[in-house]
């Protein structure tokens, strides 16, 4: 199919019919902040971090189709302020203690917070009571860090064909659940080869006995910012490309 053109921050970006703005941006090496998006799965636009201005209107880049002639603003102060507020709310709604988290340096939430210039949580912390599920022989689920991106839900359902994870409740009471009789991961057929084992952008699903094999200071986002190395939940993360 013939390529067409949109502009993102005055940069010409080619796209093919059917691609979203996010698709086109990632293909061209233009970073648009995101947490719930992964090109392997159908976009759902839940985190809203990828909101951009399209011909003056704010739209989610992951769900908005690219159309010739679109003039898109992405890296502008008004959008960065909005993204910073969204990240701050994610931090206070859960229990994210970055210095003590095994995912620090590899965490996409932490990396995006650095990228948008978040220096404090700003809002009052909720400090919710959330349990940790260490029932599985190889994985631990720390519900304290879940941001409800649903990547594990979509990966388990659409790739692994297992439906191990789900979201229950509504609004502020929404929470991640394990679809087993006991509600424990150890009572499912979850395993290390599952795509759902690798897509969590935060420290909610962690492989046991591997937490500190890479020293802090030498991890993915310790070396380069997220706009350079990309999304840690995708197979290409770590390459020196700006997705």
Is the CB of residue 60 less than 8 Å from the CB of residue 48? yes
Angle between helices 77-93 and 108-115 (to 10 degrees): 140
173-176's contacts with Cβ under 8 Å and 24+ in sequence apart are 174/148, 175/130, 175/143, 175/146, 175/148, 176/141, 176/143, 176/146, 176/148, 176/152, 176/204
In this prediction, residue 33 carries a pLDDT of 98
Cite the DSSP H helix spans in the chain. 21-28, 77-93, 108-115, 151-154, 220-223, 226-229
In this prediction, residue 235 carries a pLDDT of 67
Low-confidence ranges of the chain (pLDDT < 70): 1-2, 235-243
- Residue bearing tokens 């293909």: 27
| Spacing of C-alpha 176 from chain mean position | 15
Range 130-211 has CATH code 3.90.400.10: no
In this prediction, residue 236 carries a pLDDT of 52
Phi, psi of 195 (to 5 degrees): -65, -35
Domain positions in the chain: 3-75, 130-211
43-49's contacts with Cβ under 8 Å and 24+ in sequence apart are 44/150, 44/154, 46/148, 46/149, 46/150, 47/86, 47/147, 47/149, 48/86, 49/83, 49/86, 49/87, 49/112
CA distance 136 to 134: 6
Cite the DSSP H helix spans in 175-219. none
Residues 6+ apart with CB under 8 A from 49: 33, 34, 35, 36, 83, 86, 87, 112
Q: Which fold has domain 3-75?
A: Ubiquitin-like (UB roll) (3.10.20)
CA distance 193 to 76: 40
What ranges make up the beta strands (E) of 82-219?
132-133, 139-142, 165-168, 175-178, 205-207
What's the pLDDT tens digit per position in 85-139?
Answer: 999 999 999 999 999 899 999 999 999 999 999 999 999 999 999 999 999 999 9
């Amino acid at each position: 199919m013939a390529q067409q053109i949109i502009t993102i921050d005055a940069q010409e970006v080619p796209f093919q019919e059917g691609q979203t703005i996010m698709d086109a941006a990632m293909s061209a090496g233009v970073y648009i902040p995101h947490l719930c998006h992964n090109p392997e799965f159908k976009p759902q636009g839940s985190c809203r971090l990828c909101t951009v201005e399209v011909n003056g209107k704010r739209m989610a880049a992951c769900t908005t189709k690219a159309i010739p002639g679109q003039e898109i603003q992405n890296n502008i102060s008004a959008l960065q302020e909005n993204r910073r507020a969204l990240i701050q709310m994610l931090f206070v709604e859960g229990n994210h203690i970055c210095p003590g988290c095994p995912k620090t340096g590899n965490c996409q939430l932490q990396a995006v917070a650095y990228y948008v210039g978040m220096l404090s949580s700003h809002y009052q912390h909720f400090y919710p009571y959330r349990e940790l599920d260490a029932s599985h022989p190889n994985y631990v689920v720390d519900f304290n860090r879940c941001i409800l991106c649903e990547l594990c839900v979509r990966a388990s359902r659409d790739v692994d064909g297992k439906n191990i994870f789900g979201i229950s409740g509504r609004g502020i009471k929404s929470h991640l659940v394990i679809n087993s009789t006991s509600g424990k991961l150890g009572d499912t057929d979850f395993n290390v080869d599952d795509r759902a084992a690798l897509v969590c952008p935060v420290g909610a699903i962690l492989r046991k006995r591997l937490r500190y094999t890479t020293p802090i200071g030498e991890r993915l986002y310790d070396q380069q910012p997220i706009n350079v190395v990309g999304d840690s939940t995708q197979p290409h993360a770590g390459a020196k490309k700006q997705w």
